[in-house]
Amino acid sequence: MEKMRLNANVRAVLDVLQSAESHPTAQEVYESVRKVRPSIGVATVYRILNQLGEQGMVKVLGRESECRYDARTQRHDHAVCTECGALLDIPVEITLSNEVLARAAQAAGIRLDSHEIRIYGRCLNCDKG
């Protein structure tokens, strides 16, 4: 993992992310950054976001290029490889109390439907490298 430069573009992106209330999409980041640096291009924003993600300086949510489908509709949890994106089942039932879930749902303002636990890390294959 290479050291990261911190030039004006990068700082502008970080700035937007740090002052954001919610979780902006790349396009939203781009729009915001453009107010400060009108000449910046989308590609640069994407490049910077990716690098920040690799550095662990920002969290990237929902990076899953393709949808996956599963005929087993009962709840089950997933392990995601941060390297290759593999999506694995977690064959261990992790129990959360209904009270905790209800409280979380209420706090988030959502009518609870289901839940899922995801663990992230490197899968056996990628961990070798």
Partner DNA sequence: ATGGGTGCAAATCCTTTGCATCTGC
Partner DNA sequence: GCAGATGCAAAGGATTTGCACCCAT
Query: Is-contact 13 52, C-beta < 8 A?
Result: yes
Residue 39 near which of a copy of itself, DNA, none (CB within 5-8 Å, type-dependent): DNA
The reply to whether 11 sits near a copy of itself by the rule CB under 8 A is no
Residue 6 partner contact from DNA, a copy of itself, none using kind-dependent CB cut-offs of 5 to 8 Å:
none
Coil vs helix vs strand at 107: helix
Determine contact, residues 49/58, Cβ cutoff 8 Å: yes
Pick the binder of a copy of itself from 11, 31, 64, 84 (CB under 8 A). Answer: 64
Query: How many angstroms separate the CA atoms of 16 and 23, rounded?
Result: 11
What is the binding site for DNA (CB under 7 A)? Answer: 5, 7-10, 25-27, 37, 39-44, 46-48, 50, 65-67
